[in-house]
Structure 1
Amino acid sequence: MVSTSQTELAGARRPSAQGQNQQVSDFAELTHQLESAGLLRRRYGYYWTKLSVIVLTFAACGLLFVWIGDTWWQMFTAVIFAVVLTQTAFLAHDAAHRQIFKSSKWNDWISLILGNLFVGLSYAWWEHKHGKHHGNPNKAGTDPDIGFKVLAFTPEQEQSRRTPLTRWLVARQGWFFFPLLLLEGISLHTIGIRRVFGRGKLNRRWVEIVFLAIRLGGYLALVLLVLSPGKAAVFLAIQLGLFGLYMGASFAPNHKGMPIVPKNLKLDFIQRQVLMSRNIRGNRFIDTAMGGLNYQIEHHLFPSMPRPNLRRAQPIIAAYCAKHEVRYTETTLWHSYGIVVRYLNQVGLRARDPFDCPLIAQRRSF
């Protein structure tokens, strides 16, 4: 299956009372089918094993770091840390979506412990941002994942880049996208700190502050105690850079390069989640490496479905989409990266009407 282009929104259904009722009925049937197959049940054995392995891995990484000592071999340890931190972030993501436990409180605390205390990211920031994304993926002015200040995802964002330098960068932004992800680790930590010290309402603010202080302060202290300043700087640069690159490269294939939904366009739930999402084809290694995010369509339709069940749900949901003539997009990882680069360059170069949506034109004719 190939990538969905913006013009394919032309066939999208416009919601109506009768259509919505039928959609609810069809989706209830799909849900029942997944429930009957046991795919919505909690996977406690899987997740307790994951949680135990994460704790033991962190302990082993800490001991290894101290044992190796002040040597340039620690740069390989930095790579290991980046992978472990990203895998831990994936597990925190599962908890935030209520995939691990039935209890919301248990999921919240696991997200706080994994996200804030282990990884150093703010759970409250992630929950707010990611919730808005799931509600309206790729919708202009609503989805924060296409609201970057550095990159332009729509022609309107491109036109707001006023200076010659920013216009030059945006025109080539596709080639800069993956190098920029090397700064994403620092950005994620900084945004989290700003969130917990911001003025907005925040549940468990002091818990988040204490966890972040222990994680970020303690980690920095450990690195400086074991390594000389020069080695510590290189170690942190490698670890933060690869952490950001790994995180970004795992999330980018899911929606980047899929259709952008105009602010005033309303789609039914199925199309809003499926047409704007892309699956990554692969094997169990891809499943593990991407933390289950390669099943993005299934995840968006059933966010609380446990990660290990997504693979089994995929053929059922693909068949459902085919039956109801909803475009189901799936491609390889490397092809998806090519789509992302070309898409961003297309926006930056302001190709002629690249986001003109035929459905909008169709509605104007009424």
Structure 2
Amino acid sequence: MEFEEKPEGNGSLVDENQLDLGAKHQPNRKPGASGKAKLSARQQANAKCDLPRKSLNRYTWQEIQRHNLKTDQWLVINRKVYDVTGWADRHPGGRQVLKHYAGEDATDVFRAMHPDPDIVRLYLKPLLIGELAPEEPNQERNKNSRLVEDFQELRRTLETLNMFNANLGFFFLHLAQILILEALAWVIVWHFGSGWLITIFISFLLMVAQAQGLFLQHDMGHLSIFKKSKWNLLMQKFVMGHLKGLSSKWWNHRHSLHHVKTNIYPKDPDIDTGPLFVLGDLQPVEYGKNRIKFFDYEKQHLIFCLGDLTFKHFFLQDIAWAISFYIRYFITFGPFCGIFGTMMLIYLVKFLESPWIAYVTQMSHIPMKISKEEKRDWFSSQVLATCNAEHSFFNDWFTGHLNFQIEHHLFPTMPRHNYHKVAPLVKSLCAKHGLPYVNKPMLKAFGDILRALKKYGALWKEAYCTHPEI
């Protein structure tokens, strides 16, 4: 089994605690009780991979593509074939992520989401069942092999340039910004009281802190910023639960699905928004033909300004962190605003923050290509489904660097302070292969959301009216 051995400073999305849980399910393997034992397990795996291996079964792409069912899932990574059927329910990224790539080459998405091969190797070794036959290409025959090779070469170049190494100072300054804004809001209400003007002003400060907190959680969900992953997980729960009042586990699982199948309906949960919105060229027609009308979707662009209305799920282990968010608000502002006033403050902050987050997160996806599964290569699928907003100090801060969605989707584990450095290389690769590299002014990107929603609503209306109820 061959892996690139170049280490990356940002660690892995698979944390060490999850590694121990996975080890319990492996035959004849005892999970280490200490960091020393875990290191020994890695060393043993590395040593075993260097030993001569008995010949593996060889498969064609036609054979592999048949194993794409919930009860029968094979993946190809670096020409090696893995049966992940039994492992799917224990996959730290969620079982759906594996199901979406069953019967396909997953080399690039695997590399994008797992930056530390040493850890993931412990999972992969027992799942190996064979390899591609020598006459088979590296990818499925419908993919542009030259583009895939060029993208993999680009990634190796970026690794050599240390573009995946995180600057801890950058993220600590970001966290300090959030804490200072919240402290400033408390000082103002303590000094000036809780009048309406003061409440509106501190709501603005807290809104900025909440939005920037979500951007920081976005970083924590993708990066193992700390060398010990347990600290990264703790920071995720602190930022998402304590500072935001939401579930980090829910966010991570949902966001992983969004990244691996961006703008693929209905696999990407971020665009499967019915009955609230109908998106793309297919879903509106489907709703119209089936006479589905929860409201007049022709007007959906008018209600988008209400913001992010997605239902938030919570997991039991995140409830305590979410409760601590509300406790903190009541302790901080309760003595000045009272119970009712504090609840109103919380919901005012959420109401103000919601459109900000909705526009920032959707400007790069809703106006772009939305389709059913086409099994494109990783580079093409991400470039066609995302776009950028122009680079500037304000745009970078206001969007949490999510104005670089193309680079972020191609390299999810890259720290965001490096996006602007790699953007010219990505743009050059797009030009070489005739792919669009869409980069817009931010206000135009915001406007394109509403224009796209209006277009999709018109498609629904046409299909609805041309299929009258019988």
Q: In the aligned structure 2, how far is the partner of 1:316 from the partner of 1:22?
A: 16
Q: CA 1:214–1:333 in structure 2 vs 1: closer, same or farther (change >3 Å)?
A: same
**What is the Cα deviation at residue 100 of structure 1?**
2.8
Match of 2:267 in 1: 142
Match of 1:249 in 2: 359
Q: Kindly name which structure, 1 or 2, has the bigger radius of gyration based on alpha carbons.
A: 2
Q: Deviations over 1:51-105 (max 9, x none)?
A: 3343343333333333332211221110110011110110111011016335433
What is the identity, as a one-letter code, of the residue corresponding to 1:119?
Answer: K
Mapped pair 1:226 → 2:336: yes
Q: Which runs of 4+ in 1 moved over 6 A?
A: 351-354
Mapped pair 1:130 → 2:130: no
Q: TM-score, normalised by structure 1?
A: 0.79
Q: In the aligned structure 2, how far is the partner of 1:85 from the partner of 1:124?
A: 18
Q: Deviations over 1:230-265 (max 9, x none)?
A: 7556534431111111111210111011111213x2
Q: What percent identity do the matched residue pairs reach? A: 27
Aligned ranges 1:154-303 → 2 under 5 Å: 154-155=283-284, 156-158=286-288, 162-163=292-293, 166-168=294-296, 170-178=297-305, 180-181=306-307, 184=308, 187=309, 191=312, 194-197=313-316, 205=317, 208-220=318-330, 222-227=332-337, 232=342, 235-263=345-373, 265-303=374-412
Q: In the aligned structure 2, how far is the partner of 1:281 from the partner of 1:324?
A: 22
Q: TM-score, normalised by structure 2?
A: 0.63
Aligned partner of residue 144 in structure 1, secondary structure? coil
Q: Deviations over 1:250-295 (max 9, x none)?
A: 10111011111213x2111111111000100131110011001000
**What is the Cα deviation at residue 42 of structure 1?**
1.7
Kindly indicate whether the alpha-carbon contact (under 8 Å) linking 2:213 and 2:239 is maintained by their aligned counterparts in 1.
yes
Match of 1:335 in 2: 444
Match of 2:433 in 1: 324
What is the identity, as a one-letter code, of the residue corresponding to 2:276?
Answer: V
Match of 1:152 in 2: 278
**What is the Cα deviation at residue 45 of structure 1?**
2.1
Q: CA 1:243–1:18 in structure 2 vs 1: closer, same or farther (change >3 Å)?
A: closer
Kindly indicate whether the alpha-carbon contact (under 8 Å) linking 1:42 and 1:102 is maintained by their aligned counterparts in 2.
no
Q: In the aligned structure 2, how far is the partner of 1:330 from the partner of 1:113?
A: 34
Q: In the aligned structure 2, how far is the partner of 1:35 from the partner of 1:227?
A: 51
Answer 1 or 2: higher relative contact order, Cα 8 Å, separation at least 6. 1
Aligned ranges 1:64-79 → 2 under 5 Å: 64-72=188-196, 73-79=198-204
Q: CA 1:53–1:352 in structure 2 vs 1: closer, same or farther (change >3 Å)?
A: closer
Which of 97, 121, 146 lines up with 2:222 in the alignment?
A: 97
Kindly indicate whether the alpha-carbon contact (under 8 Å) linking 1:152 and 1:158 is maintained by their aligned counterparts in 2.
no
Larger helix share, 1 or 2: 1
Which of 25, 28, 32 lines up with 2:156 in the alignment?
A: 32
Give 5+ residue unaligned stretches, structure 2.
1-138, 464-470
Match of 1:49 in 2: 173
Q: CA 1:312–1:51 in structure 2 vs 1: closer, same or farther (change >3 Å)?
A: same
Q: For structure 1, which segment, 238-247 or 23-32, has the greater mean C-alpha deviation from structure 2 after superposition?
A: 23-32
What is the identity, as a one-letter code, of the residue corresponding to 1:26?
Answer: D
Q: CA 1:99–1:28 in structure 2 vs 1: closer, same or farther (change >3 Å)?
A: same
Kindly indicate whether the alpha-carbon contact (under 8 Å) linking 1:281 and 1:331 is maintained by their aligned counterparts in 2.
yes
What is the identity, as a one-letter code, of the residue corresponding to 1:150?
Answer: L
Q: In the aligned structure 1, how far is the partner of 2:423 from the partner of 2:319?
A: 39
How many residues get paired?
319
What is the identity, as a one-letter code, of the residue corresponding to 1:278?
Answer: C
Alpha-carbon RMSD across the aligned residues, in angstroms, is: 2.5
**What is the Cα deviation at residue 221 of structure 1?**
5.6
**What is the Cα deviation at residue 215 of structure 1?**
0.6
Which of 82, 95, 104 lines up with 2:207 in the alignment?
A: 82
